[in-house]
Amino acid sequence: MNFAKIRLEFTHEERVARITLAAPKANILDRTMIGELDAAVSQCSNRALNSIVLAADGPHFSFGASVQEHLPDQIAGTLKSLHTLLRRFNKAPAPVIAAVRGQCLGGGFELVLACDLIICDKTAQFASPEIKLGVFAPAASVLLPVRIGQAPAARLLLTGAAISAEEAVRCGLAARIADDLDVGLNQWLESDFLPRSPSALKFACQAARLPLRRVLEQDLPEIESLYLRELVASPDAEEGIRAFLEKRPPQWNKPALAQR
Task: Identify any residues that bridge with 116 across adjacent strands, giving them in sequence order.
Answer: none
For residue range 176-218, what is the model confidence (pLDDT) as tens digits?
Answer: 999 999 999 999 999 999 999 999 999 999 999 999 999 999 9
45 within 8 A of 53, measured Cβ to Cβ: no
Q: How many domains does the chain have?
A: 1
Please report whether residue 106 resides in a domain. Answer: yes
Q: What average pLDDT does the segment 65-91 reach?
A: 95
Residues tagged active-site = 110, 130
Q: Which helix (H) or strand (E) holds 177?
A: strand 176-177
Kindly report, residue by residue over 14-35, the tens digit of the pLDDT.
999 999 999 999 999 999 999 9
Instruction: Kindly state whether residue 184 falls inside one of the protein's structural domains.
Output: no
246 domain-assigned:
no
Q: How far apart are CA 62 and CA 21, in angstroms?
A: 8
Residue 168 lies in a domain: yes
The CA distance from 169 to 177, in Å, is: 8
Instruction: Please report which helix (H) or strand (E) contains residue 54, including its range.
Output: strand 51-56
**CATH number for the domain that contains residue 140:** 3.90.226.10
Q: Is residue 145 part of a domain?
A: yes
In a domain, 237, yes or no: no
Q: Which domain holds residue 24?
A: 6-179
- What confidence score (pLDDT) does residue 259 get? 46
- Measured CA to CA, the distance from residue 68 to residue 245 in angstroms comes to 7
pTM of whole model > 0.75? yes
The mean pLDDT value for 48-66 works out to 97
> 34 lies in a domain?
yes
Instruction: Flag whether 238 is in a domain.
Output: no
Task: Report d(CA 230, CA 92) in Å as an integer.
Answer: 33
Give CA–CA dist 237/160, Å, rounded: 16
